Amino acid sequence: MLHDFYAIFPMNKRLKKIYEFISNGLGLVDVGTDHGYLPVYLAQNGYTGNIIATDIRPKPLAAARRSALAAGQSERISFLLCDGLELCPPDKVDTIVIAGMGGDTICGILDRAEWSWNSRYLHIYQPMTKPQVLRYWLIYNGFEILSEALVKDSGVIYPVIAARFGGETQLSDGELFVGKYDLLRAEPLFVEFCAQQIQRLENVLNGIERSSATQSTARQKIIINVLDELKSNLEGSAI
């Protein structure tokens, strides 16, 4: 039961979508917590497992501590100042959330935490950029992509990806960029998201074509292939 005098933080749609992926369990670590809204929201909404918040920088972690204090949840959350999962006790969690960072940064965090490559952990990611790098890393390293969702917040569409080590997922080049078609077919935002990605990749391609750098050719070819796949799927409504 929440008391009136404790702050209730405004969870945006993006964080709410991440929250939808979380089930009650042994414990959750929120890597790169910043303001700490997700851990606080979990504590306020009946999550009974361990709640751990990490950040690599002292100021965001201090902000998370302040959020927890204002919400009367300080006792429920452990705060760790560290790079990624470095100080997270592997036996205290079964869910790992890494949200609000670039896909390449998320891969670096996973590279440095091989203990988390284990089927006992549900991984939930919300890459802000380069989701293709993250999806490639996941399928190359033996993770299965279990589900994907899209959420529109303040006009921007964000992907949310749930994965677990030990399965297999195959993705086409286009799916690396927009997500697995089968998992997103029913997602109302998917067509709009694909159209946005096509526009973005066309802009990138135009930029490359305007520069005279010959080493761009391989990158150009990849982008052209991805664009062909996404456009033909979108036109044929196969996605």
Ligand X SMILES: C[S@@+](CC[C@H](N)C(=O)[O-])C[C@H]1O[C@@H](n2cnc3c(N)ncnc32)[C@H](O)[C@@H]1O
Cβ pair 68, 76 in contact under 8 A:
yes
Describe the strand order of the beta sheet including 156-165 as a list of residue ranges: 77-81, 50-55, 27-31, 95-102, 122-129, 156-165, 143-153
Of 29 and 230, the one with the shorter C-beta distance to ligand X is 29
Based on the shown chain and the rule CB under 6 A, indicate whether residue 161 belongs to the binding site for ligand X.
Answer: no
Burial class of residue 75, CB neighbours in 10 A (0-12, 13-18, 19+):
exposed
Q: Which stretch binds ligand X (CB under 6 A): 51-59, 65-73, 116-124, 225-233?
A: 51-59
Size of the site for ligand X (CB under 6 A): 18
Is 16 near ligand X (CB under 6 A)? no
**In angstroms, what is the minimal distance from the CB of 45 to ligand X?**
17
We find the least distance from the C-beta atom of residue 73 to ligand X, in angstroms, to be 17
Q: Is 67 in the site for ligand X (CB under 6 A)?
A: no
d(CA 152, CA 79): 29
Question: Does 198 sit near ligand X (CB under 6 A)?
Answer: no
Binding segment (CB under 6 A) for ligand X, from list 31-39, 178-186, 190-198, 206-214: 31-39
- Alpha helices of the chain — where are they, by DSSP H? 13-20, 37-44, 58-70, 103-111, 131-140, 173-178, 181-184, 190-210, 217-235
Residues that bind ligand X (CB under 6 A): 15, 31-34, 54-57, 60, 83-84, 99-101, 105, 109, 126
